[in-house]
Structures are given as C-alpha cells and as structure tokens.
Amino acid sequence: MAIAETLVYKAYTALATTVATVVAHKALTAGWQYVTGEEPPEPTDPDANLTSAVLWALASAAGVAVAQVVAHRVGTRYLFTRGQKFKPHRIGVKV
C-alpha cells in the first residue's frame, strides 16, 4: 500500500508543480510587461540590457520557486489530511 501512496503522491505533486510553474511564469511575464511596458528580456539576446536580464532572471526564478513550494505543500496537505500517516521521504543534502 505504501508504494501506491508514494506513486499517487509523486504523480499528483508533479502535476501540481508543473501547472503552478506554467501559471507563475505567465503571471510573472504579465507583471513584467505591466511594470516595464516591455517584453521580458531573452537571456541569450546579446542586445538585452544586462541589468534587466539579471532582474528578470531573479524575479522569474524566485516567483517560480515560490509557486512550486506552495503547490507542493498544498498537494501534500490535500492528499494526506484524511487521517493518513503517510509522509513523503525527504532527500537530505548536508552542506
């Protein structure tokens, strides 16, 4: 039973984080266009302003990371709040 729960957990959270990533990227792009009045810079464009490219990279990375964490946590709570004791395995890296 634990294997089935693990597979459901992984599939559900993968889907939730994928959807959250796409939605966050679209929202960040729209926000960038609203604030600056321009399209977000392409990272490979040599004519793009370095400051704008770095700010876009930071904003998009932070926004997508936050959306993924929220989707993952919401997905975990949704799947395992009905009295189940299952907790996903953590992969730890010591620094």
From the CB of residue 24, how many other CB atoms can be counted at a distance below 10 Å? 20
Dist CA 28 CA 44 (whole Å): 19
Mean pLDDT across the stretch 75-83? 67
Mean pLDDT across the stretch 1-29? 83
More confident site: 81 or 51: 51
Instruction: Give a three-class secondary structure readout of 33-67.
Output: HHHHCCCCCCCCCCCCCHHHHHHHHHHHHHHHHHH
The pLDDT value recorded for residue 13 is 81
Contact 64, 24 (CB under 8 A): yes
